Amino acid sequence: MAILLDDITGSGRLFPFGQLQSIAFIRVGMFTLFERWEKTGHRIFLKSQNDFEDEIIDAVFDITFIPSFEAINKIRNGDFNISLQQKITNTSDLFKLNDWALRQDFQLLTHGEESRAIPNGVQAIHPENIFIEEGAEISFCIINAGTGPVYISRNATIMEGVLLRGPVFCGEGSVLKMGAKIYGGTSIGPGCVAGGEIKNSIMMECSNKAHDGYLGDSVLGPWCNLGAGTSNSNLKNNASSVSIRTAKNATPMIVGIKCGLLMGDYSRAAINTSFNTGSVVGVCSNIFGQAMPEKFTGNFTWGRERYQLEKALTDIDNWKKLKGSSITEEEKTALKNLYNRS
């Protein structure tokens, strides 16, 4: 059986994410949107890739809907008559739905599986809600799964003094540095490094918020870096509604009482950067300078100037080498195409 996901109609609402590849690869909860649909056991095709013309498609779904654990089980059994209620209508919904998605995904990943034993020296509250994969290294931390489940993937490292309050996901190869305080609704994606205080936020993959500072009600795309002491506001001083822009001159969009930093792929911020409530940073931008950043920063911004493409590509490659990787030709092509459109 095959499922076709419509990843086109909702893509424009999710700036700064989904600009370099399909929105199917945006992470919410423990999976990317595409990975979650793969858990149905069916072949998955994307409308944007045009590789499904010779396939017999059994069902078509809007990828901006997130299927629950129950819905995925029904689809596994060939029942496509499901109710999809959780929908990503704009970028802020990623962190708003993350708590819910983490609880659904915990059921999906742990159903019928057995956790590794909790290591000695770890203080665990409601250990039945904690799942640890083989290869994870966990030292003298506190895990409170009474407020929600905690999933720690293989080869993740949880250093001494870390405080985890579920629901929390630590992806494969992620590192939580000493004394990190991770509140519920947080996804630390594969290859990420996390430190300081993080609450109700998503780090998609291979991004760093390694030092002290606050990240709350926020989303970091892949390969981002926040310098030491960087923090964001997630609540206005008058507790009024927060608005964001998805383009410099776009009409502000009200997203609720809380919204922090929404940072696109490959972007970085210098030490002690302070982001205002509802800040949006585009793809491959370098934020630095004495003044507080603008609430909207477009793609390929270097301070207040235009980032030169070749320098941007070199800098991305340098950052990727820090994690034993390098920029690919596919990435270069996608970045060049976006640069020419931006």
In this structure, is the dihedral angle defined by the CA atoms of residues 323, 327, 331 and 335, taken in order, positive or negative? positive
By percentage, how much of the chain surpasses pLDDT 70? 100
pLDDT of residue 52: 82
pLDDT of residue 55: 86
Tokens standing for 239? 């507790």
Closest CA to 18 of 312, 218, 336, 264: 264
d(CA 257, CA 240): 6
Q: Tell me the β-bridge partners of 161.
A: none
pLDDT of residue 320: 97
Extract the residue ranges of the chain whose pLDDT is less than 50.
Answer: none
Would strands 168-170 and 186-188 be described as parallel, antiparallel, or unpaired? Answer: parallel
For 152, residues 6+ apart whose C-beta sits below 8 A from its C-beta are 130, 131, 132, 133, 136, 138, 158, 170
What is the domain class of 217-342 according to CATH?
mainly beta
- Give the CA angle between residues 299, 305, 309 to the nearest 5°: 55
Q: Tell me the β-bridge partners of 4.
A: 45, 60
pLDDT of residue 75: 95
d(CA 259, CA 95): 9
- Encode burial over 180-206: b for 16+ CB neighbours within 10 A, e otherwise: bbbbbbbbbbbbbbbbbbbbbbbbbbb
Question: What amino acid occupies position 224?
Answer: C
CB 26 within 8 A of CB 203: no
> 90-206 domain in CATH 2.20.180?
no
pLDDT of residue 11: 81
Q: Where in the chain is the domain with CATH 2.160.10.10?
A: 217-342
Phi and psi torsions of 314, nearest 5°: -65, -45
DSSP 3-state of 75? helix
d(CA 86, CA 154): 29
pLDDT of residue 252: 93
Q: Is the peptide bond preceding residue 149 cis, with omega within 30 degrees of 0?
A: no
